[in-house]
Each structure stands twice: as C-alpha cells, then as structure tokens.
Amino acid sequence: MRSGACDRLALEDALKQGVVSPPLDHIAFGALNNGGTILPMAIRTSEPHRGRVLISCPDGPGIVATVSRFLYEYGANIAHFDQHATAPVGGRFFMRAEFDLVEAAGEVLALDREFAPIGRRFEMQWQFRDVSVPYRLAIFVSRAEHCLLELLWQRRAGDLPADIAMVISNHRDLEETVHGWGIPFHHVPVEPGRKAEAEQEQLDLLAGRVDVVVLARYMQILSPHFIQQWPARIINIHHSFLPAFAGARPYHQAYERGVKLIGATAHYVTEELDAGPIIEQGVERVDHGDTPEDLRRIGRSIERHVLARAVSWHVEDRILLHGNRTVVFD
C-alpha cells in the first residue's frame, strides 16, 4: 500500500480514537488519495481564523499523521486536506491543508517557527499562510485589455481573492480604464536601448508593495535579472496551447495550418522563453470556416479565462512546483 494511503488510514484511526479532533467542516481526500472521506461537522463556538500550509518533501510513512497531530496540538481543526505522491515508493510527497484556529486567532504565522523541527525531520519545504491576508497583485499590460478586464471584474465580483495593487504598462492606452476602477496606473515606457532602466523602475514600483506579477498580454520579454527577483511569482498567459506556433502572427499561422483546436497556456515565467511550469491550459474547437479574426476572438476568450483560473489558483495556494511541472490541487 502506498504511503499516502497508509497515512490516510492512520489519520482516520486517530480521529476515531480522539487523538485528532473532528474538523469544523470536513477533511477531504481527493481522487489521488483513493477516494473521499467526509467527517461530521463540529459546532462552531466562535469565528475561526483560517490558515493554510503547503508541504513538499520526500515521500514516507507518518507525514500526514505527524502534521495532523501538530495542528491538533496547536488547537487547529483541519477543514480541507489534499495530498499527492509522485510514485508508490520513493517519490515526492505534496500536501495542502486548510485549518481553522479558534483559540489562537492571528497566530497562524507563529506555526511556521513551531513546525521547524518536524520540517527538518522529514526534509520538508513548507509554508504557512494566514488566509485573512490577501496576495497583492501587479498586472502588467500593453494595449490588449481582455485579460486585464477579466481580472478586474473577477476581483470586483469576489471571485479572485486578491488585491490588485497596481497596473503597469508600457503604453497609455488603458490608463483611463484602470483609473476608472480606482487602481493606480503606472506608465513605464520600454524604449530601445533603455530596457534595463525601465525594468529597474518597475522593480522599484513593486518592491514591498506586491506579492505576484501577472503578465496580462504584456508584450515585452522580461530580462533574466527581472525574473530572478521574482522566482515562481510571475504568471504569463501565452496565446497558444504550448508548445505551438511560436513567434509573430500566431493566429495567421494557425489559419494557414488549418488547425481544428486553438488554445492558451498560463505558466510561470522562467529565463527560458515560454518554457516555465504550466499552470493551466484551455482549448476550443474551430473549423475551416473560421477566419483569422474569428480565431483571434475565440483565442481572447480562452486567454482571459485560463489566466484568471491560474491567478486564482496561485493566490489560493493550490500550486506546488515539482521541477518544471506543477501539482495543482482542486
């Protein structure tokens, strides 16, 4: 039996014996954990304080039971739980848990320090987050507005749990649009021979104010220096189902090839162009009657939805990196 399944059974036994208290909502094991378990709801005695923990480590027995006991001893109730192991034996283990603190509201981040001995024991990379503190986004755009508007609308509708701290553009085309949403707009032109100066101005604007950079059809290639300052924190939307139709006029290339599917890819930015870990992809069927403009229109719709999903998953801490791949929990 794989270690993930053993840990699940150990946790269920602990719950039955009262070693780990029942959660406020439920503990959910996804399809990768061989099924689901829903436990009775506990009565809420006060408004809980939600936290998250992300863990990546070599797979082995006892991980889930140890983490669950730690949270229980700190007064936390597990609300959601997902895990994945890359191989039955000797793989890598990934875990995401949401928990509620009732007695120690506001002390989520203190768990990080207390958790250190366990982290070292299992050779973990881990992160605790206070859900009440939203991520702050900087959206980079050029002239196209569709991806930007989707993010703005989802934020207003409450579907994107993040704050949009600023919009940065190398053109002024969308300045009035952004100001209409009450968000700071910064025009940073990228002129020939002054790319380094422009990027430094952008970095200065981001410093201490932003957690994630979103390239919402920003038509500039970021330098390795810029990317190194924001590892796994720059999300890009690419106008094709990667890898395909690189370079200029992708929809004309698609039209000339008579494609039957077009798509878009959201990925983390790395120094290798359009080759970073893929977060989300989407496709739509097209046919011989679609013109290049039809493909462009359909493509814009795919792009905005794929990018919005990728950004939402990032700010909900649903993504863990595994080399150049991603583990994305539901």
- 206 and 282 Cβ atoms separated by less than 8 Å: no
- Return the residue matching tokens 């100001």: 179
CA distance 194 to 190: 6
3-state DSSP call for residue 271?
coil
Burial 13-49 (b: 16+ CB within 10 A, else e): ebbeeeebbebbbbbbbbeebeeeeeeeeeeeeeebb
Burial 294-328 (b: 16+ CB within 10 A, else e): ebbebbbebbbbbbbbbbbbbbbbbbbbeeeebbb
CA distance 49 to 69: 18
Verify whether residue 274 is a known catalytic residue: yes
- 107 and 127 Cβ atoms separated by less than 8 Å: no
- 97 and 131 Cβ atoms separated by less than 8 Å: no
Amino acid in position 210? V
Give me the catalytic one of 173, 274, 294, 317. 274
**Catalytic residue numbers, as ranges:** 274
